[in-house]
Structure 1
């Protein structure tokens, strides 16, 4: 296998929800003051890995959390999310909008998959895209560690994808929450660092 222990032609960096509305200061969360240094640092930390994997024949796949516009353009928001994030409003995470897109630092993605819940596999085309592209190994990163990342990793596991969760390539709104989530995922995946993954990709 190329890159030591992974076949790069069958490997993807799966970026969970690193979108402008989550990460950029002018996005929906930034405007509401819902930010965390751990999350803000992720795009820059992940960029070398994305570039290395893409340059060696691997893939970059971006999941895009989506608020589907309903009648009058008002977003369809699940009750639990509305209670948790009451600031979400019309235009936030809207398909095709600036806020909905993957942050510029990590562009371009080879595949973009919209998601409407925590897991990128729930009622989406994720499994179809990965299997059609011949991808069977995933380096999973993004936000939030205990939400979208954890749910996506667990769903990938039950679908027999080989997964690695990037312990310093994920973020949550508190260090304790992040650490607990990484520990809890140890039953279904192997936690490695971004540097570990980069070494696997480059053979260094």
Structure 2
């Protein structure tokens, strides 16, 4: 089955200790999610899977920022999530290769306002394996969207993080209704 490994929001502003809105940084560091995603990418490459890395951000000047959003509405006030700026750079430990597909998204779901659907369709992808931050936002939103687009959805939970372990676990309980929950080490069981 044609599969895509998708990493969500492994960017400085969201999950690095130097990030401007990095509520997930402590859990991301403690759970070693970047190293686990890097290992998952190596496996995916060997298995012939498509590899995609996604980042959230807004154009300079924040013209595409949803000002009313409780999540994104104040990003401009602290200078967070500017595409092309240091905050939307991928985490320094994340290995982004030349053949990875890089997608910028303007909202929570990786499908919203992006070319992700077209990219997956053009590549014949039937299953997506999601990793990223935060489990309760980008991972959950993208998983729901992928499910409703008839993809088989898998979450590699050990390459995901939320601000707290309780939030992470609650999201996984919800996601288990529409996705297979696994670990990066068990990805070989999918082939």
Q: Is TM (by shorter chain) over 0.5? A: yes
The superposition leaves residues 41-92 of structure 1 with CA deviations (integer Å, 9 ceiling, x where unpaired) of 210122111112113321210111012323xx67734321256x668533x3
Counterpart of 1:39 in structure 2 is 28
> Paired residue for 1:18?
10
Counterpart contact for 1:63–1:120, Cα < 8 Å? yes
CA pair 102-136 structure 1, distance change in 2 beyond 3 A: farther
Pairwise CA RMSD of aligned residues?
A: 2.3
Which residue is equivalent to 1:115? 105
Partner of 2:58: 67
What is the CA–CA distance in structure 2 between the aligned matches of 1:182 and 1:106, rounded to whole Å?
26
Any conservation in 1 of the 2:24–2:161 contact (CA below 8 Å)?
A: no
TM-score if structure 2 supplies the norm length?
Answer: 0.85
Larger deviation, residues 96-105 vs 109-118: 96-105
**Which residues in structure 2 correspond to 1:101-180 (within 5 Å)?**
101-104=89-92, 105-108=94-97, 110-180=100-170
With structure 1 as the length reference, what TM-score do the two structures score?
A: 0.80
3-state SS of paired residue (1:140): strand
Does structure 1 residue 97 correspond to structure 2 residue 89? no
Structure 2 CA distance for partners of 1:35 and 1:150, relative to 1, 3 Å: closer
Q: Please say if residues 3 and 50 of structure 2, whose CA atoms lie closer than 8 Å, have aligned partners that are also in contact.
A: yes
Aligned to 1:4: none
What 5-or-longer segments of structure 2 have no aligned partner? none
Partners of 1:12 and 1:139 within 8 A in 2: yes
Relative to its length, the structure with more helix (as a share) is: 1
In structure 2, C-alpha distance between the alignment counterparts of 1:87 and 1:36, rounded to whole Å: 20
1:195 Cα deviation after fit: 1.2
What is the aligned residue count?
186
Gaps (5+ residues) in structure 1? 1-6
Hey, which bits of structure 1, 4+ residues long, moved more than 6 A? Answer: none
- Which has the greater radius of gyration? 1
